[in-house]
Amino acid sequence: IDPETNLPRLLGLDEVIPPRSKTCVAFTVLTDEEYERHQLEVKRQKQDKVNAEVGFRLVIDELIQSCKPLIGHNLLYDICHLFSSFCGDLPESVVEFKEILHELFPM
C-alpha cells in the first residue's frame, strides 16, 4: 500500500495476444521491495536513454578539454558538421567561426 495514496502499488503490463492482435493489460500488486526495485529499474532505463542520446557529445567535450591539436583530411568540413550538431548554429562569418574554434580548441 502506498502511504501517500493509501492504494495498492500496481504495475501494469500490456501484451498483444495473437492471432487477433488484441491488447491485454494485466496488473500485479507490488510489495514495497518490488516497487523500489521497479522504480530503480525505471530510473536506470531513463538514465541509459539519456546517456545514449548524449553519448557522442561526451566525446566532443573530451576533445575540447584535452587541448590537443586536431589533425585530419578535410577536417574543416568535419569540424563544421560537429559544431553545428553539438555546439550550436554556425556563425555568419568565417572570422567569427575561427574565433570560436580557437576558444574551443586552443593551439
Residue 24 has pLDDT above 90, yes or no: no
48 phi, psi to nearest 5 deg: -60, -40
DSSP, res 21: T
Partnered with residue 10 across adjacent β-strands are: 29
DSSP, res 18: T
Summarize pLDDT for 54-107 with one digit per residue, the tens: 778 888 888 888 888 888 888 889 889 888 888 889 999 999 999 988 888 777
Q: How far is CA 61 from CA 56, 58, 99, 104, 106, in A?
A: 9, 5, 18, 9, 14
What pLDDT does residue 43 have? 93
Q: Is the dihedral of CA 77, 80, 86, 89 positive or negative?
A: negative
pLDDT band at 14 (very low <50, low <70, confident <90, very high): low
| pTM beyond 0.75, yes or no | no
